[in-house]
Amino acid sequence: MNSLFRLDKPSTDDLDSFHDDGYIFFPEVLKDDARESLIEEIYTNDDVRRYLDAREKAPDAEPNSYFVRPWNERGPIGHQLIDDPFVTALLQATIGADYHFCHSALNLAPRGIGPVPFHQDHHHWKHENSVNHTERDKYYIQILYYPNGFKRGDRNLKVIPGSHLVAPTAEATPKRMLAGDYDAEAGRKLVELPLEVAPGSVVYINARIFHAVDAKPVDSPQPYRIFNIDIFKEAGPPHRYTQEISPEWIEGADPYRKKLFLRDAYTDDCWTA
């Protein structure tokens, strides 16, 4: 399989960043043809097309983002992101070989859309079922793709590097982290870091890290910020949103891809059954 990426594996510095900071930033890592093809696949998706047409017909309507989870209607580039050689090397170098594909999502953010506050996405942390306590320290990885990038102050991603090192108690809020209350536990000063990424960039995060998104100004020069995400979890019970895999995805899949997909999906009672 020819890779969609300019790199074949993470560097030592990348791995240090993952463990120390809780994320890795890969600027412009998607090859130009892969990035352009991914954008084309997204914009020609029927549901996306209907969303864009509706907004063009009512440009003064209240801004609403396009969001779908799971992102099942993927084209060839979207599908290859799941098991591209670089993605596989990255996952194996950071969390080992025992993991599953969890779920995916696609988002288009228009001008005027509001912010997303700081949050964590490790869904076993904030629940009291016994399975959550046994699973909460396992890895939950989010690979964030930005085909057309973003500027600071324009729907930019923000992170608190090192916040994944703080125990996930109810008291450990982002406000208290940024006030310095958990600097000693993290072994560093915890500060907010806004990112700016060029088109084709990727951010690879441990879902323990606190992250947020700024609003998109009504006068942004970029009509829509495109964001697609794939989530992988360390092998074990489902996380919230672990998606059901369609038979079409498994048919003809090689052994590696089947290993990613052959796991239980999330249901409303799966943590208590």
In this structure, is residue 264 part of a structural domain? no
Tens of each residue's pLDDT in the chain, 273 residues? 799 999 999 999 999 999 999 999 999 999 999 999 999 999 999 999 999 999 999 988 899 999 999 999 999 999 999 999 999 999 999 999 999 999 999 999 999 999 999 999 877 777 778 888 888 889 999 999 999 999 999 999 999 999 999 998 889 999 999 999 999 999 999 999 999 999 999 999 999 999 999 999 999 999 999 999 999 999 999 998 999 999 999 998 999 999 999 999 999 999 886
In this structure, is residue 61 part of a structural domain? yes
In this structure, is residue 128 part of a structural domain? yes
What pLDDT is recorded for position 80?
A: 97
In this structure, is residue 5 part of a structural domain? no
Overall domain count for the chain: 1
Q: Which domain holds residue 201?
A: 12-235
In this structure, is residue 229 part of a structural domain? yes
Distance (Å, rounded) from C-alpha 223 to C-alpha 201?
A: 18
| Residue 161 · residue 209 · CB < 8 Å | yes
What pLDDT is recorded for position 37?
A: 98
In this structure, is residue 252 part of a structural domain? no
Q: Kindly state the DSSP code that residue 163 receives in the 8-state scheme.
A: G
Strand order in the sheet with 193-194: 116-119, 211-213, 157-159, 193-194
In this structure, is residue 29 part of a structural domain? yes
CATH number at residue 157: 2.60.120.620
What pLDDT is recorded for position 170?
A: 86
Please compute Rg for the chain using Cα positions.
19
Specify the pTM.
0.96
Distance (Å, rounded) from C-alpha 207 to C-alpha 204?
A: 9
What pLDDT is recorded for position 132?
A: 83
Q: Which residues contact 61 (CB under 8 A, 6 or more apart)?
A: 55
β-pair partners for 84: none
What pLDDT is recorded for position 245?
A: 96
Number of Cβ atoms within 10 Å of the Cβ of 32: 11
What pLDDT is recorded for position 99?
A: 97
What pLDDT is recorded for position 273?
A: 62
In this structure, is residue 256 part of a structural domain? no
